[in-house]
Structure formats: C-alpha cells, structure tokens
Amino acid sequence: MSNGASTPVCGSDGVTYSSQCQVISKQCQETPACFSARLTVRPGARPVCRSDGTYAPVQCHEETGYCWCVTPQGRPLPDTSVRNERPRCVKKPGPRSTASTRSGQRRRSPNWKQRRQYSSKHRNTCDRAEKSKFNGNLIENFKIEYRRTNISADGDKNVERVLSWKFVTLDKNEDGYLDRAEYKELRRLAKKAVRPKKCARTFARTCDLNRDLKLSRQEWGACLANDFTRKFKTWCTCILHHKGRISEVVPRPRR
C-alpha cells in the first residue's frame, strides 16, 4: 500500500498527482459540501441535497425522528427542531419569532410580550378587596401586640385605639410622623408574615399619599381602617383640598 501511495496518478482533469490521496482530496475540494457529506455520512443521517449541491431547507435524522431547518450551507437554524413531523422552513426565523419550537408550538403572536407584562403587572397589583384583607390581617397582629402590653383588658376591640397605639410605638422621635427608618421594621415583618404578600410589598407606598416618604397620623389611620375604601377616599379628598396641609384629627394617646 505504501508503494501505491507514492505512485503518481493521472487525474481525469489531465493533471498528474503524486498519490491517490491527493486525487481524493482534490475531488472533495471541488465537490459541493452537501454532496461530500452524503459520501462520508452513514445511511440514515445523510443530508438531502438540492441539484446545485446546496442543502435542502429541511433535514431529518431517520433513527431519532427529528427534523430541523438549515441554511443552504447546511447550518442548523435554532429553535426549529421537531420530532415526527416536518418543520415549516418557508423563511428564516427572526430574532423575535421562531418558525417552530421543539414542542411543535405555533409562532408566538407579536404582542405576546405586552400580554405577559400586563399579566405580571396584574398579579402584582393589590386591589381593594385584597387591601382590606391585608389590613385585617395586619390589625390582628397589632391586637396581639396590644394585648401583651396589658393596657386594657378589652381595649383591643377598638380598632382606632389599637392603630393609634401602634403609631405611637413606632413614632420614636414623637414628631407625629413615621419616617422610613421608623416603619422599616414594620415593612419587613409585614412582607414576611402578613398576607396577601403583594399588598405587604406596597403597603407604605400606598399609604404615603403626598409622597413625602413619611406617614402622618391621618395617612396611617385612614389607610389601615377596616372600611378602607370609604375612609381612604375621604382622606384623599381632604388632602387634595388642603393641598397637602394636614391637620391633626387623631388624638395622641399618652404613653
């Protein structure tokens, strides 16, 4: 075989090659890639070629049943592989849509992102019914704390008294407002233990009506009242009428 490999070979193109290996190499260089692949790949995995030697748009693997789309040069297109069916390779998938998916699902609608964003926003929105439920659960926690202080045997039955007491315990500097540092721990506990959790996440922001990063007595009382919808709406009207100038209406209990 070594003698054959070194014996000059005359090719069909009229060129004399130094060995049979060079003849085969020359043939591979001139043969289109798809035709060359058919000569080297085992049956069942051989590519389908067009008459000009480029790859057919759909290629399949007989043993596994998978088919996919390819470029004319044979490069597979992403997210086009399907099993036991032929993918639709009419046009090249763009960056925002695919002709098919591995599970065979149809192309997504152009506005699917908008629908997903709306759905996500809706799930994270605390509506009135959920807000009332959150208020009730939070107040129950306040009542438990209130009873532990033994201020009054039945004082926890008066919700406004409990809310006023809780405000005083949080108002460390006694200025009549709860700043972010003063209600920070309450926010943390609410997020951890009070449901619905999405209402706990927006608790302070929804109560801070004038967006001054502080909660006044009125904002606190109106936002956490049992009849939240009516009282908070009344409070909104009041604060807009007075352009943010809030007067004290909730008496401050003595310590």
Residue 7 has pLDDT above 90, yes or no: no
Average pLDDT in the 182-198 region? 88
pLDDT at site 9: 77
DSSP-assigned beta bridge partners for residue 60: 67
Task: Provide the residue type at 226 as one letter.
Answer: N
pLDDT at site 59: 92
Alpha-carbon Rg for the chain, nearest whole angstrom, is: 38
CB atoms within 10 A of CB 82: 21
CB atoms within 10 A of CB 109: 10
Helix or strand or coil: residue 172?
coil
* pTM of the complete model beyond 0.95: no
pLDDT at site 246: 39
How does pLDDT run across 207-232, given as a tens digit for each residue?
888 889 899 998 898 888 755 444 44
Backbone φ and ψ for 10, nearest 5 degrees, come out as -90, 120
How does pLDDT run across 78-110, given as a tens digit for each residue?
888 898 899 988 764 445 444 444 444 555 555
Q: Which helix (H) or strand (E) holds 216?
A: strand 214-216
